[in-house]
Amino acid sequence: MKELEEKIKLLGIPRTTEISDVSAFLNQQVDPHLMKAIGDDFAAHYNDYDFDTIVTVESSGIAPAVFASLALDKPLVILKKDERERDDAVFVQQPSYSFTKGNHYYLTTKSDLIQGKKVILIDDFLAQGSVVMNVEALLRKVDAELVAIGICIAKDYQPGFQILSEKGYDVYCQAHITKLDPETQTIYFG
């Protein structure tokens, strides 16, 4: 998606060879015009899909997912990251680990929000692909189906996109970053 790539080129900062800082427009300060364009782009891609609900994971996925939800006229369920296991049948949980942040958490939501639903997952970054697989495991527990995955920024120098594609997931990424060079402050796209 050209508009997102242009914004990353203009305001994205390669902090390391692994991590790009997009806090000027995506996850700390949010550019609403870019978010609208992102939502419309997801809507154009998923317009003909048969699904019930959009799902995202807090927190940085929320902004793009809200705009996609509005453009597709479908509800949005935000999966929470809970520090503790809940002894309550109202909730469904999936133990998860973030490679990027190095922390453990329980992906958590109320079962009845997603029970039996056909779901499209929208998220900001795709790195290792672990979030996607944990979301699918969570959905499976309530007989829900992961129909497709929409990602704003795939980091193709990390294995997530390739792993998910090879596993047969339907993955659409709006921008593919192939390399970050913090020395020259250059971000390369595929």
User: Is residue 131 involved in binding ligand G4P (CB under 6 A)?
Assistant: yes
Q: Which of 57, 7, 2 is nearest to 31 (CA)?
A: 7
User: Is residue 160 involved in binding ligand G4P (CB under 6 A)?
Assistant: yes
User: Is residue 99 involved in binding ligand G4P (CB under 6 A)?
Assistant: yes
DSSP assigned state of 149: E
Binding residues for ligand G4P, how many (CB under 6 A)?
A: 23
User: Is residue 125 involved in binding ligand G4P (CB under 6 A)?
Assistant: yes
Per CB under 6 A, contacts with ligand G4P among 60-79 are 60-61
Instruction: Return d(Cα 138, Cα 96) in angstroms, integer.
Output: 10
User: Is residue 175 involved in binding ligand G4P (CB under 6 A)?
Assistant: no
Q: Shortest approach of ligand G4P to residue 50 CB, angstroms?
A: 26
**Chain centre to alpha carbon of residue 65:** 8
Instruction: Return d(Cα 65, Cα 123) in angstroms, integer.
Output: 7
Q: Which residue number, 89 or 168, has a Cβ lying nearer to ligand G4P? A: 168
Widest distance between CA atoms in the chain: 52
Q: Shortest approach of ligand G4P to residue 114 CB, angstroms?
A: 18
Residues in contact with 140: Cβ distance below 8 Å, sequence separation at least 6, in sequence order: none
Instruction: Return d(Cα 42, Cα 68) in angstroms, integer.
Output: 6
Site stretch for ligand G4P (CB under 6 A), options 38-46, 58-66, 106-114, 138-146: 58-66
177: left (phi over 0), alpha (psi -120 to 50) or beta: beta
**Which of 37, 126, 149, 171 lies at the binding interface for ligand G4P (CB under 6 A)?**
126
Q: Name the residues that contact ligand G4P, by CB under 6 A.
A: 19-22, 27, 57, 59-61, 98-101, 124-131, 155, 160
